[in-house]
Every structure is written in structure tokens, then in C-alpha cells.
Amino acid sequence: MIVPLAVSGTIEEGFELRRNIDAESWEAVFLGPALCRGAKMYLDIKETGCREHDRVNPARVNPAMVLTGDERDANVYSVYLVEERACVSALLGEPRLLSMAADALRVDLEDPLTSPRVVEFARAKLGYDAETCAVLSVVAAYRGRRFVAAPPFEIRSDGTRVTSFRRSLAIFSGIDQAVPGSSSWNQAVAAALVRANAELPADSEALYATNRVQNRLSTRLSVEEIRVLFSRAGLGDIPALPEPLRVRADPYPFPLVGSLDPETTALLIVDLQRDFTEEGGYASAMGLDLKPLAAPLANVKRVLAAARSSGLKIIHTRQGFRDDLADVPPHVAARFAKHCDILIGKTVGPLGTVFIRGQPGWHINDAVAPIEGEPVVDKTANSAFVGTDLDRILRASNIHNLVLCGNTLDVCVHSTMRHANDLNYHTCLLEDCCGCAAEALKKAMLHSVKIETGVFGCVSNADAFISALHAMPPPLASLLSSRRGSFRLALSDSELV
């Protein structure tokens, strides 16, 4: 999803630090400058030995916007369309104590310092009578002890004090013609910082309450909504808009709404236990053909590796009863005894006592065994949702989309998929990652998923799912890890986020 973001440095097209708000799946789109009211600019003066200070160039300072709620405090921000996870990665990678606020700053759509592109985009979204709107913006979490008020470059008759980092810093340092980052620039700023250091106040001001603006520009926008808004605003088309990332599936791609996203999608691996995939367990005792039941292991192993590297949430289920048989319904025990010559809790084979927790056959096959951090849900019913905390686990992780595989397709996998559908999860079945004792039965189960235009979900395969996973942006944790250390801000980089 794409979100409008206002940054307090005057980042421009092609500027080096633009990368901080770019994502691999979306290069930030610059809309233009905008006068934002409700925050006062301070110069965040770096102390010796801090992360952004070095002996070669001690003139280190950043803009810091402190919320005041006073519309006379105004700063020229730059407004971008940014991929939402890039907002988070940029914020978390910042060395400063910054935050983001969605309702605190007002974009003045009628001010001449606000770009026409910003005005047209905002009014296309909010209505053409909009005079002001809120925008997600980078602000200081609080006023630091080393913040020095930035001098305004314009004071208006109504009391509005207008700042921008480059122009305010130049006034602060007494610079006229020097180029930001040049030797004369750095020398002038360094001297000004020495003087300011001697005058830093002992206490900081308290923050004022901010005015909330309900007319919010910075809501999450899909790519389709961006296209509509640009068309409505007469801004043309945006180059290289990413299409929603989806898995090839039948009868529709997955997910049907939105894009494949590790933050909302989970892989559910159902009952790939030794009892169902190896000789000497439940399946062989039932006289079932083990070959089609063990066949999915190779594909599930590939899917599992791709899902782990993509940051997908992975959950395993495991079928089994208590060793005291207190959770075995009498009719279930009688059915096994009469028709299968299996006594639950008493029939013992090479993999231990059939269907009992803790026995060798109860454990998940080593080829697809869970690793640390992957929940295992123990169950006694065919559906993994019955009598378990699976639904609570999924909702706690904000999961909406489920990709299912495992054994057996005709019983536990299918029951879990149908139950998930009734709980309003969007489901996709990986057909070559599911085992079924009879090929005709497997075809019937797959057909039942797809009837009525996908009444229970859609059907895909391992290769299609892995291909989609590889096309996803890297998980946020690795994105932050790769970017950590790239947020070294210096005066030679005069336009800062």
C-alpha cells in the first residue's frame, strides 16, 4: 500500500538520501513542497561522540520538527508517495528520536508555497473545496535539550513564521552565497554551533496539545486508487506502478484482494507427521498406499524454505490424542476397532502407539519439521480450528490469507480449509503439497474447492507459490538490517529527512 508522507528536509529528485524512502517494490514519487502548519523547526545540534558526529567534520546538525498545534508555526515540507513499509524502515533506521504523526500537521492547500501538484492530488482525493488537510509527517518525538530554534526565512503579517531546513540553517549561520556542504559552509555552521552550544537552555519546553484534523490525506492507498486519483487530478499516470503481487491459481489468483504480503499471509502445514508418511505408522496400519502420502514432502520442503526466507508466518498442526484416551470419543474408538483392527492407544507398531501424543509416529516428519518460532497446534478433530487456539494465533498476527498443504487432502486439510473459509479467512490450497490415498479422491477434493467460482478458495501449486514469494520485497527485518548504518547524516548532505 502507498501512503503520502511529508518529510521536513527539502529532499529533491535525484538527491542522494532519496533512497531512505524508496523501497525495492516502489520508488518514492515526489509530489512537491507543501507548507505544513502546526510544528516549529529546531536545529538538532549534535554533541561530540554521538552517532552522527565525527572529528573530520564536526558541523553536524539536523532539522527537528516539534509539534506545537500553532498554525503560525509553518515549515516547507516535501510530500512523497511512499510504500508504507518504507516509512517504517526509514523511521526505525533513523539515528534520531523521531516519530511520525498522521493528524498533527495541516497542509495549507491555499498557500503559494504549496506545490500545485500537491494541491491537485489532495483535492482529487478529498474534494475540490478542501482548503487544508492532515498528512503523515516526520516529527520529533519530543524537544531535545540540544534543540535550537531555527530562524524563519519569512515572517508574515498574520504572524506566520515560515522555516525550511536549508534556508533557516543558512540564516542561523550567517551564510549568504556558500554552497551547502562546501568548506566555507561547514566552517560557518561549525562556528555558529559553537556559539549556540554555549547558550543551550537547561530545560526544554513542554509540548502543546495538537489539533486533530479529520480530513486525512495520509490513508493507505492501493495502486488502483492512486491511478484513479492521478486521473481525477489531471496528473497523468505514474511510471512503474507495481501491479498487485498474486499467486497464479485456479479459479482466481491469490489473494483475490490486495497483494501477497508476509504481514497478512500464513502458511499452514497440516499433519505431516510420521504416522501419515512413514512405514510402521497409522497409515500403513490402515493399509493405505504410503507413496502418495509421502510424495508432498519434497514440495512442502521447498515451499517451507521459500516461506521462511520471505518472512511468512508458518504454523504446523499435529493430530493425536492424550495417552489416557480421555479425549477419544467412544464412537471414534469403536469405528477404528471394528473396521480397521486398530485400537487407539493400544495398537503398537514400529512408530509406537498409534495416534498418541509423544509417540514417535506423532512427531512431524524431519523433512518439514518446525523450527524455533513456528507454532505447532495440537488437535484431535479433523479441522485444525476445533478445540485449538489456531484462530486466536492467526488473528493476533493480523493474518487474513491462509495457504494450506499437508495430509490428508480429503480429511484434515479439506476440513480445515472449509472451516477457515467460514471464519472469513481467504484460502489457497497447494495441490502438489497435499497427500491423498487415492488419485480419484484427490481430483474430487480439488474440484470441490473450485466449484461455484471458488466457493472454498482457490488451488495453486508449489512452483507458482514459490515464484510469488521470490517476487515479494524482502521481509522488514532484513530490510532494516541491510539499511542500518546508511542513515549517516552530515551537513554535506544538506537536504535531510
- CA proximity to 265, closest of 398, 418, 415, 421: 398
50 is annotated as an active-site residue: no
The answer to whether residues 19 and 89 touch, using CB atoms and an 8 Å cutoff, is: no
- CA proximity to 13, closest of 35, 31, 36: 31
DSSP code for 437:
S
Give Cα 99 distance to the centre of its chain. 17
379 is annotated as an active-site residue: yes
The three three-digit cell numbers of residue 267, written as one number: 502458511
Cα dist from 483 to 4, 45, 311, 476, whole Å: 22, 24, 17, 10
Distance CA 377, CA 33 (A): 52
Q: If you compute the radius of gyration of the chain from its CA atoms, what whole number of angstroms results? A: 30
The one catalytic residue in 412, 428, 433, 436 is: 412
Spell out the alpha helix ranges (H) of 455-496. 462-471, 476-483
Distance CA 385, CA 379 (A): 8
Distance CA 380, CA 318 (A): 8
Report the alpha-carbon angle 332-388-409, nearest 5: 60
Cα dist from 184 to 45, 61, 176, 325, 334, whole Å: 19, 16, 11, 83, 91
Q: Exposed, middle or buried: residue 174 (CB in 10 Å: 0-12, 13-18, 19+)?
A: exposed
What burial letters (b/e) apply to 105-134, b meaning 16+ CB within 10 Å?
bbbbbebebbbebbbbbbbbbbeeebebbb
- CA proximity to 458, closest of 429, 437, 431: 429
Distance CA 71, CA 208 (A): 12
271 is annotated as an active-site residue: yes
The one catalytic residue in 271, 275, 410, 436 is: 271
The answer to whether residues 419 and 449 touch, using CB atoms and an 8 Å cutoff, is: no
Distance CA 200, CA 485 (A): 29
The one catalytic residue in 40, 46, 313, 379 is: 379
Distance CA 306, CA 380 (A): 29
- CA proximity to 10, closest of 169, 168, 164: 164
Active site positions, annotated: 271, 379, 412
